[in-house]
Structure 1
Amino acid sequence: MSLVVYFAAFVFGATSVLLFRRPRTAMRHPLTLSTCAAVLLGALVFVCAAPATLATVNDLTGVPNFGAPLTYGMLSAYSCAVLVLLINWRGGPRRRVRRLVLRTMAAYGLLVAAIVVLFALADARTERLTDLDTYYAATPFMREMILLYLLGHSAAMLVMCAVCVKWGREVGGLLRAGLRLILLGALLDVLGFQLTKYTAVVARWYGHDLDFLSTDVAPPMASLAAVLCSAGFVLPRLLPPVLAQWRGLDDHRRLEPLWSLVKPVCTAPEQPAAWWRLPRERLQWREVSIHDALLTLAPYFDHRVRERVRDTALSAGRTPHEARLAAEAAMLADAARRAVAREEPPRSTGSYRLHATEVPGPGGLVELARALDRPAAGDAASNGPVPPRPAGPVTGPEESHVA
């Protein structure tokens, strides 16, 4: 059972590291700080509750069952941190939030003190690592201590369930998905962990033996609830950057036709080969390199090619935007061929701004790369295909016609 509990502790701990990856920023935001505190305390609860940890703590202190008040006190601190998190999450006037936080901490501080006092007054000389709740369910003072920690934890989880249900109706997107995961984890904690504990303890009061609910059912249910709650905490914070990196990887791949065309004339430094670079960084480097190549190719733009392809595309029933992209792709292919062949620039007058340079981000470049894959772009370059890449980069005239 220790492995199951330690796994839950690891999940909680990894979550706290991910949420607290920027300590200076987190310390200035009460919501982030309280979230990290709640998740970290949850991890400590599972570490303390593992039978291997309980045995070690008992041996080190020389007090049988000393791990019990330590675990229950830590669980009460976690319950308090959950309520503080909900208070900060709800927000409101600073004085009101501070007052509610202090009251919550005071209430659970008294609960922890009561747990310690009751344990000191109880007669619990027999060490129990897995079934302490049911073994001492009818023992004076131990009985009250067990009920206190369960009631304190139940209050926090029920409040969390109510808040998640309420806020889930008011928000959407990833935040709603995170709240639903937290709600599912809290419900699993209430029904799978607490209810089974209550049932096993009450059964002991009436002379029945349902200890398996407390020893075999409750721990894995609590671990699964911890995993779900952790996923709910991190989903709204970590999924957006993950999706951004995935989109960056897709855009980097879709820019390949355009990059293959303009790479021979690019004068920007090559990107250092590093496997650890994130997709967004690779995409940014490719964008900069492509824009540099477009600057080099600007003097080679033949507006007669562009106008001819545009008119043909419009006659074929394409939209003005599609016709413009097809014309620019054909003009760019013709310019790349001229630059690589070291031909003289055409005598076209006036500057021209590509659509890809008018829109922010990689979207315009992706549209241009897609237009290059269409037959019209290659067929309209009147002077044949682009020759192979020369040994060194080709630099065009210094004047620039592309922003």
Structure 2
Amino acid sequence: MSLVVYAASCLFGMAALLLCQKPHVALRDPLTASTCAAIVLGGLCFFCSAPVTLEAVNDFTGIPNFGAPMTYSVISAYSASLLILLLNWRGGPADGIRLWSVRIAAVYSLLIAAIITLFSLADAPVERLRDLDTYYANTPYMREMIVLYLVGHGACMITMCYVCLRWSREVTGILRTGLQLIMVGLAADVVGFECAKFTAVVARWTGHDLDVLSTDVAPQVTSLGALICSAGFVLPRLLPAAQVQWSSLSDYRALAPLWAELQNVPTAPKPAPPRWQLPRGRLYYRELRILDALLALQSRCDGRIRESAYRQAKAQGSTPGEADFVAAAAMVVDAAHQAGQLPPPDFPDSGGASRLHTAVFSETSELVRLSEALANSPVVRAAREGAKRATRS
């Protein structure tokens, strides 16, 4: 059991690190701060409930079962953090969110105080690491403490289910998917934790033994439910950023043929990019260098190459738009092979056709189309061979 809950705790911690890569910036955003707080407290719940942790806490304090009110208090704080997170996620007037957050924090603070007070009044001398809820189900004050934390956590789960269900009917896309995942996780928690625990406790009240529901079923199901629930909160925050990085990686690779053609073109020196970068940053530096190289080739662009390539592309069935990129790519290839010549060749006036308008390629998608034309067009390959022969001669 300890291995399962420790693994869940580590996953929660990893999710928090992904969301809070720059703490001094992220924590200024109430949504990010509340998300990180909820995830950290969720991981702490699993860490505290592990039998190994409970035994260590009991030995350290010298109080049998001291880990129980500690764990129940963390569970209650986790419940409050989930409600506050849902408030910030749903949005609305800032004053209203702040007021309800204070109310929720106050209610669950009183709940935690009651849990600690009841434990201090109870007589629980026998250490129980896995079955405390059922072992002390009939013990005065311990009984009330157990019921109180279950009611507090259950109220949070049911309230969140209701809010998420109503909200999911108003939204679409990734947000709705996130809400549906949250509801699945909450349902697993309600059925696998709340119902299992209450059933086992009530069975003890009536003289029956269903401890297996509390000791074996509840921890496994609640671990799965909490992870699904956390995925629902994190997915709408991380997926758009992940999609941007994935798209940037695709564009970065698509620009490789164009960069390979231009990387030896002399340009003004630029600061070296950071060694470790996400795909979006790598794409930015590659685009910047490509545009610098294209700008440096302006004076070497031969409009005759462009016009000839355009006619050939059209003759091969390209659309006017495709032919424009093929023609530009052919002119770039020819100019790149002349980059080492000094001074630039004196081409006849082509009425502006010799100009390589870098502004046209300021968008990533335009540079990608230019790179694809450069890599795939037989017209551009012929222009490259012609440029090589001209350079050798």
**Pairwise same-fold verdict (TM > 0.5):** yes
- Which residue in the other structure is 1:397 paired with? none
Secondary structure at the residue paired with 1:36? helix
- Which residue in the other structure is 1:375 paired with? 378
* Cα distance change on mapping 1:301 and 1:276 into 2, 3 Å: same
Secondary structure at the residue paired with 2:251? helix
Q: Is the 8 A contact 2:182 2:228 kept in 1?
A: yes
Q: Is the 8 A contact 1:333 1:386 kept in 2?
A: no
- Which residue in the other structure is 1:346 paired with? 347
CA distance in 1, matches of 2:384, 2:347: 13
Q: Which amino acid aligns with 2:386?
A: N
- Which residue in the other structure is 1:18 paired with? 18
- Which residue in the other structure is 1:321 paired with? 321
Q: Is the 8 A contact 1:138 1:205 kept in 2?
A: yes
Q: Which amino acid aligns with 1:346?
A: F
Per the TM alignment, residue 200 of structure 1 is displaced from its structure 2 partner at its CA by: 1.0
1:257-279 Cα deviation digits (max 9, x unpaired): 21222223242548859762322
Q: Which amino acid aligns with 2:53?
A: T
Q: Is the 8 A contact 1:257 1:369 kept in 2?
A: yes
- Which residue in the other structure is 2:77 paired with? 77
CA distance in 1, matches of 2:274, 2:18: 24
Q: Which amino acid aligns with 2:224?
A: L
- Which residue in the other structure is 2:150 paired with? 150
CA distance in 1, matches of 2:246, 2:116: 51
* Cα distance change on mapping 1:359 and 1:381 into 2, 3 Å: closer
- 5 Å-filtered alignment, 1:301-312, equals 301-312=301-312
Q: Is the 8 A contact 1:188 1:221 kept in 2?
A: yes
Q: Which amino acid aligns with 2:101?
A: V
RMSD (Å), alpha carbons? 2.5
The 10-residue stretch of structure 1 (52-61 or 239-248) with the greater mean CA deviation from structure 2: 239-248
Secondary structure at the residue paired with 2:64? coil
Per the TM alignment, residue 175 of structure 1 is displaced from its structure 2 partner at its CA by: 2.1
Per the TM alignment, residue 51 of structure 1 is displaced from its structure 2 partner at its CA by: 0.9
- Which residue in the other structure is 2:178 paired with? 178
1:104 aligns with 2:107: no
Q: Which amino acid aligns with 2:8?
A: A
CA distance in 2, matches of 1:388, 1:71: 77
- Which residue in the other structure is 2:93 paired with? 93
Q: Is the 8 A contact 2:338 2:391 kept in 1?
A: no
Task: Report % sequence identity.
Answer: 53
Secondary structure at the residue paired with 1:56? helix
CA distance in 1, matches of 2:98, 2:194: 30
Relative to the length of structure 1, the TM-score reads: 0.88
CA distance in 2, matches of 1:388, 1:259: 20
Structure 2 gaps, min length 5: none
CA distance in 2, matches of 1:362, 1:139: 69
- Which residue in the other structure is 1:121 paired with? 121
- Which residue in the other structure is 1:392 paired with? none
Per the TM alignment, residue 72 of structure 1 is displaced from its structure 2 partner at its CA by: 0.8
Per the TM alignment, residue 305 of structure 1 is displaced from its structure 2 partner at its CA by: 2.2
Q: Is the 8 A contact 2:304 2:350 kept in 1?
A: no
- Which residue in the other structure is 2:331 paired with? 331
* Cα distance change on mapping 1:306 and 1:5 into 2, 3 Å: same
Relative to the length of structure 2, the TM-score reads: 0.90
Q: Is the 8 A contact 2:310 2:326 kept in 1?
A: yes
CA distance in 2, matches of 1:361, 1:157: 47
Per the TM alignment, residue 242 of structure 1 is displaced from its structure 2 partner at its CA by: 2.3
Q: Is the 8 A contact 1:2 1:52 kept in 2?
A: yes
- 5 Å-filtered alignment, 1:186-265, equals 186-265=186-265
CA distance in 1, matches of 2:264, 2:19: 44
The 10-residue stretch of structure 1 (167-176 or 147-156) with the greater mean CA deviation from structure 2: 167-176
Structure 1 gaps, min length 5: 390-403
1:331-373 Cα deviation digits (max 9, x unpaired): 2222223335667342234545546632533211111111112
